[in-house]
Amino acid sequence: MKIVLYTLLAVLIALIVLLLIAVIRTLRMPRKVSTYVPDQKDAGRAMLYAGKLSRMVQCETVSHEGVHEREKFLRFHGLLQELFPLVHRELEKTEIDGNLLFYWKGKRHDRPLVLMSHQDVVPADGDWTHAPFSGDIADGKVWGRGASDTKCSVMGFFQAVEELLAAGYVPEQDVWLSSSCTEEWAGDGCPKLVDYLQTKGVHPWLVCDEGGGIITEPVAGIPGNFAMVGVFEKGKADVKFTARSSGGHASAPSKGSPIARLSDFVHSVEHHNPFARYMMPEVQAMFETLAPYASFPLRLLFGNMWLFRPLLVSLMPAISAQAGAMLQTTIAFTMQSGSNACNVMPDVATLGANLRFIPHQGMAESLHLIEKRAKRYGLSMEVGHTNDYTAPINIHGEAFRLVEDTIEKTFPGLAGSPYVMTGATDARCYQKICNNVVRFAPVIYGPEQMKGMHGLNENIEYRCLPGCVDFYKNLIAAVGETEE
């Protein structure tokens, strides 16, 4: 008995000592504040860019899955030519089924740069404060579908090249401007552009797409703006589960009906997660980067991963769904169907779900695990559209450091951090010809902008647009200064 008590006491003392060490390390950690806000001296430029973005929003470019509407996007191309005449006069343009590539020949060709974002937008249903394709400029914002997702970055890199051309600038390295019209439904637009570049033997050294951004308070308790740079994106799959029976009248229900089995399956997955949690180095780097900017409790946790990492892995999904999604494969149940009448037992019931795959448990393993669980409840599984996760950029490599340096140069006082994309972008298509793909749109996404993407009242604060343009200009110059 004494041995047990002494052992417990020793363990308790050890834990207290470790906690004291963590507290002392946290108290000694230099406090940091992210001070970046857009320069108010750029008001004239901001209004100029807001006017161009407004015109782009007014040109409706909604895309629909499986539907190719080239004429709609050709109209948008006509507007781009009006807004950015030098780009269209000086660069080599390639149009493939509404998708765009512009080639700006540099002095050297060993480290090509691709700047990209998409032309298409999602539908705009519901009751909007400003009409979804009005492009209204009001209350310091440009309003409308596509303002933040992502005609803002399309405008940004076109305007950057327009201004550089006007100044007589010739890039040191080749620059490509890439923009698909099928991104919102993971269509074949960007793959066609990548295939075209591959046939020409183009292997970009760096690709910069949307995905991350300048996020306001990326984690609750960490105030300010932060440049969250997406370093890879999770894979995804659409899956349908089906339960069958002989049906029957609802007045004499049998046990284990299709809907009951589907419900038991959902409950099982929700309460007994089949997917493993693991904190990848890129995720750990994100928390450690944000630690000095956090309140003391978060600084204690994030700044002492050597002690609290297992605790964070265990608790993070309950604290933040977004942060939790960076630790594991996720499944979201999204659609369900049964019989067409309340008094009829269905002979077939279905359940739709969306999975997002994490690198430590990719597409094959994740689908196997969820199918194994489904079979316990007599369900069959059908896999629809799917793609695996993408390889991460080396966060200690030259290309990532160059992006971080460009952010620091363009946005004084703005902290940068690696970030895991839990959604999907066209950037994944470039992974087969480029090892350095980052996801960063250089505009500010506050809570209102995050809520508006794919939702009601989408908007972007136009005061951040000059920084967007300057970032692309600085990135073009920075890539030109690198040497193979």
pLDDT at 483: 67
Residues 365 and 414 in one domain: no
Which CATH number fits the domain that encloses residue 250?
A: 3.30.70.360
Residues 74 and 183 in one domain: yes
Residues 259 and 308 in one domain: yes
* Residue 17: inside a domain: no
pLDDT over 90 at 410, yes or no: yes
* Residue 129: inside a domain: yes
Residues 204 and 250 in one domain: no
- Pick the more confident residue, 219 or 100: 100
Residues 347 and 405 in one domain: no
DSSP-assigned letters across all residues of 53-112: HHHHHHS--B-BTTB--HHHHHHHHHHHHHH-HHHHHHSEEEEETTEEEEEE--SEEEEE
Separation between Cα atoms, residue 109 and residue 96, nearest integer Å? 23
Separation between Cα atoms, residue 115 and residue 440, nearest integer Å? 10
Q: Where among 357, 387, 417 does a domain terminate?
A: 387
State the residue range of the domain holding 100.
40-218+391-480
Residues 107 and 185 in one domain: yes
* Residue 1: inside a domain: no
Residues 359 and 429 in one domain: no
Name the CA radius of gyration of the chain, rounded.
Answer: 25
Separation between Cα atoms, residue 187 and residue 425, nearest integer Å? 11
Which CATH number fits the domain that encloses residue 51?
A: 3.40.630.10
How many domains would you assign to the chain?
Answer: 2
Separation between Cα atoms, residue 134 and residue 457, nearest integer Å? 11
* Residue 461: inside a domain: yes
Q: Where among 366, 387, 408 does a domain terminate?
A: 387
Q: Rounded to an integer, what is the distance from CA 163 to the centroid of its chain?
A: 28
* Residue 305: inside a domain: yes
Separation between Cα atoms, residue 473 and residue 15, nearest integer Å? 52
Residues 307 and 407 in one domain: no
Q: Where among 341, 357, 387 does a domain terminate?
A: 387
Residues 403 and 439 in one domain: yes
pLDDT over 90 at 245, yes or no: no
At 261, the pLDDT band (50, 70, 90 cuts) reads very high
* Residue 197: inside a domain: yes
* Residue 12: inside a domain: no
Residues 256 and 360 in one domain: yes
Kindly state the percentage of the chain with pLDDT values over 70. 99
Most confident residue range from 13-22, 123-132, 307-316, 319-328: 123-132
Residues 101 and 74 in one domain: yes
Separation between Cα atoms, residue 479 and residue 237, nearest integer Å? 35
pLDDT over 70 at 249, yes or no: no
Q: How large is the average pLDDT for residues 256-262?
A: 91
Q: State whether residue 373 is helix, strand or coil.
A: helix
At 484, the pLDDT band (50, 70, 90 cuts) reads low
CB 62 within 8 A of CB 156: no
pLDDT at 315: 85
Q: Report pLDDT digits (tens) over 339-369.
A: 888 888 888 999 999 999 999 999 999 999 9
Separation between Cα atoms, residue 273 and residue 361, nearest integer Å? 13
Q: At what angle do helices 2-28 and 305-319 cross, to 10 degrees?
A: 90
Residues 183 and 68 in one domain: yes
* Residue 298: inside a domain: yes
Q: Report pLDDT digits (tens) over 266-322.
A: 999 999 999 999 999 999 999 999 999 999 999 999 999 999 999 999 988 887 788
